[in-house]
Amino acid sequence: MEEDIIKENLDIDERKKNGVKYMQSANTLFNFMPKIEYLYKKLKEKRIVPRYVSEDAQYLKVPNLQSFETPMICFCDINLHKISPHARGYGKFNGYGCFAIAFSKEFCLRQSVQPVHYINENSDFFNSFSNALNTALDYIKQQDTDLEIILDQFVKNIMYMKPLAGTQNAEIKNFHDEQEWRFVPDLSQSDMPSFLINKGILSCKETLYKYNKAIEKLAEAETGNGTKDTHNICFKFEYSDIKYLIIDREKNRTEFIKWIMQLKNDENCSDEDCIDLVSKIRVLDTIEEDA
């Protein structure tokens, strides 16, 4: 039995070599955005800059912890023919935008992208986690004891946790449908905070704007487009790493192709790169028609 379990724990290279595929979920992770200008910027720079995102933390049942902000890049693990509700939205949810850049899961795994752990607030697992977190916080406060390693692990868990359902834009939403994965940068070599508490309750936009501008400046200081270092601030890629480029409508395809072909004027983009990028374009309207 132990031997069988060990054989099942294949690393990324072994899965790729043996042709292991995801049968019940997508083999692709999508990063959606509301404007094509954002897609242009990411393609031009060959990187995605993290942004501070405000997350509701009240479900954790920790006194005085109402929300937290952490820098991240969000991806969704949704099959191509099912992405429309995520992109366009439904009910009062306006969607995450009709433009996207997509990469294989294998590539994202190499870049330290991690699936979100969705939490059932009625489960023993959740109760145990919440109790342990509250106990650790109380112990640190009362004993003035250095438990930074333990607390750091709790914080990292929270960064990758989300309730199964909650409220977004005054709409009850099933978060689990998003099948979210996150890239959270390593900011240990900078003076930028990785975890802010309760900054988003009254001044969310102001706070996020301030820190997002700061992280953009930090990203500007980075050099090189390689993907070997998985602990850089940005999620970096090469054009060959892209699997799909999603745009909203067929009428915008020609203009998008023209923009891509202009990339060959950049020393980092060859004619072959441009042709390859054009071949990866998918139109959301057409995807919806064929779903």
Per-residue pLDDT at 258 exceeds 90: yes
**DSSP conformation class of 240:** G
pLDDT of the residue at 1:
46
pLDDT of the residue at 272:
93
Instruction: Provide the pLDDT confidence category of residue 120 given band limits of 50, 70 and 90.
Output: very high
Share of the chain above pLDDT 90, in %: 53
Burial tier of 249 (Cβ tally within 10 Å: 0-12, 13-18, 19+): exposed
| Residue of 103, 45, 108, 118 lying closest to 244 (CA atoms) | 103
| Residue of 173, 169, 219, 174 lying closest to 192 (CA atoms) | 219
123-143 tens-digit pLDDT: 999 999 999 888 888 777 766
Judged by phi (left if over 0) then psi (alpha if -120 to 50, else beta), residue 171 lies in: beta
> What are the structure tokens assigned to 86, written together?
């995520």
168-217 tens-digit pLDDT: 777 788 999 999 999 999 888 888 888 888 765 545 677 788 889 999 98
- Output the CA torsion 31→37→41→46 (10° steps): 40
Domain limits, the chain: 34-51+71-115+164-290
> What are the structure tokens assigned to 134, written together?
């509250």
pLDDT of the residue at 262:
93
pLDDT of the residue at 230:
40
Report the C-alpha gap between 75 and 23 in whole angstroms.
Answer: 19
Query: End-to-end CA distance of the chain, in Å?
Result: 42
What contacts 69, CB < 8 A, 6 or more positions away?
Answer: 52, 53, 54, 55, 195, 196, 199, 200, 207, 208, 211
56-94 tens-digit pLDDT: 898 999 888 888 999 999 999 999 999 999 999 988 788
pLDDT of the residue at 144:
60
Burial tier of 49 (Cβ tally within 10 Å: 0-12, 13-18, 19+): buried
| Residue of 42, 174, 155, 167 lying closest to 97 (CA atoms) | 42
17-34 tens-digit pLDDT: 556 788 888 899 999 999
The β-bridge relationship of strands 281-283 and 242-247 is: parallel
User: Is 0.85 topped by the overall pTM?
Assistant: yes
pLDDT of the residue at 225:
47
pLDDT of the residue at 177:
93
Mean pLDDT of the chain: 86
CA distances 200 to 69, 196, 249, Å, are 7, 9, 35
